[in-house]
Structure 1
Amino acid sequence: MNLLDQLRAMTVVVADTGDIESIARYKPRDTTTNPSLLYKAAQMPQYKRIVESAVEFARSVDGDRKAKLEACMDKLAVGFGKEILQIVPGRVSTEVDARLSFDEEATVAKARGLIALYAEEGIGPDRILIKIASTWEGIRAAERLEKEGIHCNLTLLFSYPQAVACAEAGVTLISPFVGRILDWHLKDRGVKSIPAAEDPGVESVQRIYRYFKAHGYKTEVMGASFRNIGEIVELAGCDLLTISPDLLKALQEADGPLVRKLSPDAVADADPKPDAPLDEKSFRWMLNEDPMATEKLSGGIRNFAADIVSLEKLVSELLEQVAVA
């Protein structure tokens, strides 16, 4: 058996892409999207109809140009999500605008709006994960949404305190970023590579996984943002792993035995549970003391926000064309 088939026997494989053709090819259970992936997909001719449908929807919305643009962006995200859900049997993650990462109320409102749009398409909340950045405000918003039955995927997660806060908030799933942690440490150490078994991103996910399982948290751990298949191999057995099409292909073409590295039965070295839940002051201080997590979280939010602006520009031009016509 190839590595991908073996991995599927111990971990839920998720496709990290907005390319529907790639999703159909690798048949993951779930799929994740983000503004970067949607921006790329929206420019592909085979998905023109999804973009045009979103533009047509926006025309019917009452309000000014800003309101129509926002409606178009939300409908576009849901349009791709709906298309994906016709292929995968599980869930799709749809991301909240990264510019709302420090606004709890706006994040809650946006999530409710996306779920309502999915409902209009006949898709229930059990098949949707709302992706929210793992800021303090984002985690608090997710806690509220989970109580309403809206399931969340906390993304841009680079540190242990972020993960602990998410588990205590009862979120459905977290996406700790492996490759971006590696990127930072490669630059910081001035080296070109780090063995997968010593990869700081891998070690971070392993620590989080063991803590969650040892203390009975229901929050699922989904490793994300991989740079090579070695990182994936070291996390075999994790609840879920979201993997790009290129690395899915590499796993499919690689043979050899795959050893399970993570198991809920092997958590003897897990961190002890603190006496009290993590409060805002402690969270912010612990994050501040981790320069990698602080830089990667803020940089990730900026990058996703920039991709949203690029996508908005593309969509805005189409709306302008329709208006002129």
Structure 2
Amino acid sequence: MNQLNALKKFTTIVADTSDIESICKYKPEDATTNPSLILKAVSSINNKKFIDQAVEYARKKGGSHDDKIVNASDKILVDLGIEILKYIPGYISSEVDARLSFNKEQCILKANKIINMYEEKGVSRNRVLIKLAATWECIKAAEELKKNNISCNLTLLFSFAQARACAESNVFLISPFVGRIYDWYVSQNLISKDSFNQDPGVSSVCKIYDFYKKYNYKTIIMGASFRNIEQILSLSGCDRLTISPMLLKQLQSSNKKLNRKLSPPTAFLNPPVPLTEAEFRWEHNQDEMAVQKLSEGIRNFGKDQLCLEKIFSKLI
């Protein structure tokens, strides 16, 4: 048995791509997209029909030029999600504009719009996860959205404070970014690039896993942003792992034995008192890496969103 199939016995595999060919090849349960992946998909000639559909939709909806650009961007996000759902049995994660990451109400409005667009095409909200950056505002938006049966994937998660606040708000799923944590520690010369046995990204997810399972929180943990196979194998048994096609290929090509690393306890403790907003902000602020990587991630996703909008601005 190859390592990919062995891993599927312990962990739900999610494809970190919008490439249909890769999804068909590796047969993940779920798939996740982000502004960078959507921008990459738009740049492919194979997806020209989605671009044309988005432009036509925006023109029909009318409004100002800026309104049309926003509607085209939302349309291609949803249409690519619908296409991916044809090839997977589980969820598609669709990301809200990163520029809304500090506005709870605007995130709620955008999430409802995206869900309504899916449902207008016959796709149930039960197959869609709204991706939001794990800011305090987005965590609270996800808490509100869940009351309306809209589940969220809280992404760009780097600190334990973010993870704890998500669990205490009963968020559906979190995506801690293993590889980006690792990158920061390497860039600061705090670890060597080959430090497989002391990987801080892996350690972060293990800490979150132990905390969630000890107190029986229901929030799903989905490790993300992997740089190498060793990181993935060290988290075998995690609820979900979202993996790029390149690393999925490596797992599929290896027949080395795979052992489960993470397992839940058989007894649970009563959870601690939830963090207040002030406590959350202080605890997150104490983690220099997390502060830098969260703000960087939001900025970069915002830049990709702007690039996408520039493409539609020229076409509309």
What's the TM-score bracket when you normalise by the shorter of the two chains? Answer: over 0.9
Residue 239 of structure 2 corresponds to which residue in structure 1? 239
Instruction: Give the C-alpha shift of residue 132 in structure 1.
Output: 0.3
The one-letter code of the counterpart of 1:262 is: L
The one-letter code of the counterpart of 2:277 is: E
Match for residue 310 of structure 2 among 305, 309, 313: 313
Residue 53 of structure 1 corresponds to which residue in structure 2? 53
Greater displacement, 257-266 / 200-209: 257-266
Residue 322 of structure 1 corresponds to which residue in structure 2? none
Listed as ranges, the matches of 1:64-75 within 5 Å are: 64-75=64-75
Listed as ranges, the matches of 1:125-136 within 5 Å are: 125-136=125-136
Instruction: Give the C-alpha shift of residue 191 in structure 1.
Output: 4.7
Residue 20 of structure 1 corresponds to which residue in structure 2? 20
Instruction: Give the C-alpha shift of residue 18 in structure 1.
Output: 1.4
The DSSP-based 3-state class of the residue aligned with 1:60 is helix
Residue 84 in 1 paired to residue 95 in 2? no
The DSSP-based 3-state class of the residue aligned with 1:218 is coil
Deviation string 1:289-315 (CA, Å, 9 cap, x unpaired) is 100000000000000000001111112
Instruction: Give the C-alpha shift of residue 218 in structure 1.
Output: 0.6
Write the distance in 2 (CA, Å) between the matches of 1:29 and 1:63.
38
Unaligned runs of 5+ in 1: 320-325
The DSSP-based 3-state class of the residue aligned with 2:28 is coil
The DSSP-based 3-state class of the residue aligned with 1:131 is strand
Query: Which contiguous aligned blocks of 4+ residues in structure 1 show a shift greater than 2 angstroms?
Result: 189-192, 194-197, 265-268
Residue 290 of structure 2 corresponds to which residue in structure 1? 293
Write the distance in 2 (CA, Å) between the matches of 1:255 and 1:277.
44
Write the distance in 2 (CA, Å) between the matches of 1:155 and 1:59.
32
Listed as ranges, the matches of 1:249-288 within 5 Å are: 249-265=249-265, 273-274=271-272, 276-288=273-285
The one-letter code of the counterpart of 2:163 is: A
Greater displacement, 200-209 / 182-191: 182-191
Deviation string 1:146-205 (CA, Å, 9 cap, x unpaired) is 111000000000011100100111111000000000000111125542433311000000
Residue 223 of structure 1 corresponds to which residue in structure 2? 223
Residue 303 of structure 1 corresponds to which residue in structure 2? 300
Instruction: Give the C-alpha shift of residue 97 in structure 1.
Output: 0.2
Aligned length: 316
Write the distance in 2 (CA, Å) between the matches of 1:60 and 1:234.
50
The DSSP-based 3-state class of the residue aligned with 2:114 is helix
CA contact (8 A) 1:155 1:176 kept: yes
The one-letter code of the counterpart of 1:303 is: N
Instruction: Give the C-alpha shift of residue 62 in structure 1.
Output: 2.6
Write the distance in 1 (CA, Å) between the matches of 2:85 and 2:47.
15
Aligned CA distance change for structure 1 residues 267 and 297 (closer, same or farther; 3 Å): farther
Write the distance in 1 (CA, Å) between the matches of 2:311 and 2:303.
13
The one-letter code of the counterpart of 2:25 is: R
Instruction: Give the C-alpha shift of residue 318 in structure 1.
Output: 1.5
Write the distance in 2 (CA, Å) between the matches of 1:122 and 1:217.
32
Write the distance in 2 (CA, Å) between the matches of 1:227 and 1:70.
33
C-alpha RMSD over aligned residues? 1.4
Deviation string 1:70-110 (CA, Å, 9 cap, x unpaired) is 11100110000000000001000000000000000000000
Write the distance in 1 (CA, Å) between the matches of 2:56 and 2:119.
19
Write the distance in 1 (CA, Å) between the matches of 2:114 and 2:105.
14
The one-letter code of the counterpart of 1:37 is: L
Q: Percent identity?
A: 53
Aligned CA distance change for structure 1 residues 313 and 174 (closer, same or farther; 3 Å): same
Deviation string 1:219-257 (CA, Å, 9 cap, x unpaired) is 000000000000000000000000000000011111211
Deviation string 1:240-280 (CA, Å, 9 cap, x unpaired) is 00000000001111121101001113799x9x943x21011
The DSSP-based 3-state class of the residue aligned with 2:61 is coil
Write the distance in 2 (CA, Å) between the matches of 1:170 and 1:194.
36
Write the distance in 2 (CA, Å) between the matches of 1:87 and 1:292.
37
Q: What TM-score comes out, normalization by structure 1 length?
A: 0.95
The one-letter code of the counterpart of 2:113 is: G
Residue 323 of structure 1 corresponds to which residue in structure 2? none
